[in-house]
Amino acid sequence: MKRALPLLPVTILLLGACTQTGPTPPPAPTETETVTVSVTPDIPWVPERPTPEPTTPGEIITQSRDFARARARELNTQEIHSVTSLEFALVSEGISREDARWAADSLDVDWNQNAVRAVRELDRVTTNSRVGMLRDLKARGFTQDEAHYGIDNSWINYHDNALQTAYQLHQSTEEGMLYEEIRHGLIEWYGFLPEEADWAIDNMYPYAVG
């Protein structure tokens, strides 16, 4: 019978060779991914403006007319207007003609008294006769009735206006105008009454040459 003992070391060596491990390889390099993070500053939210309620056409008309009337009152306190000149002043500021007419008509203004004030204002800067006053009031948009009321209730001294105009006529030429020429000019050119012209001639002596 053969003995098997001599084979044992070989077997052990083979098993040792099989179980022997080599050196541990270094770990594979790890790829690094760079990530950029954007940080937004903490800015407070701006509240949204509320959407205005839609305006109806009726409200638009009311607003525009209220503005026109307020502006008409203001203009009437600044200057002496007729209803027509006030309407034109409003239109020149961009207000529609319809709103301007409505605003002027809606004011509680005595246009006759405005005509009186206009005559007194004109008398401070002119030497008008009644005819001249009528002409200037008409140019300002006053009606004929308003103009006559203004002239009849302003108590202007037209005799003195005729005298001042007579001086102007006499001095308008180097030689001076004669009595009849001045009288003719006062009546025909400036519209003074004959008695006003006669009074002026009688009171401008010695300037007039008769």
141-157 residue pLDDT tens: 999 999 999 999 999 99
> Any idea which architecture 157-210 has in CATH?
Orthogonal Bundle (1.10)
Q: How far is CA 73 from CA 62, 78, 93, 104, 121, in A?
A: 17, 9, 14, 9, 20
Cα gap 55→110, rounded to integer Å: 35
Confidence class of residue 131 from pLDDT cuts 50, 70 and 90? very high
Domain ranges of the chain: 57-106, 110-156, 157-210
**What per-residue confidence (pLDDT) applies to 175?**
77
Q: Which CATH architecture has domain 110-156?
A: Orthogonal Bundle (1.10)
pTM of the model: 0.68
Average pLDDT, the chain: 81
Tens digits of per-residue pLDDT, 22-43? 555 555 555 555 545 444 455 4
Asked if the peptide bond before residue 206 counts as cis, ω within 30 degrees of 0, the response is: yes
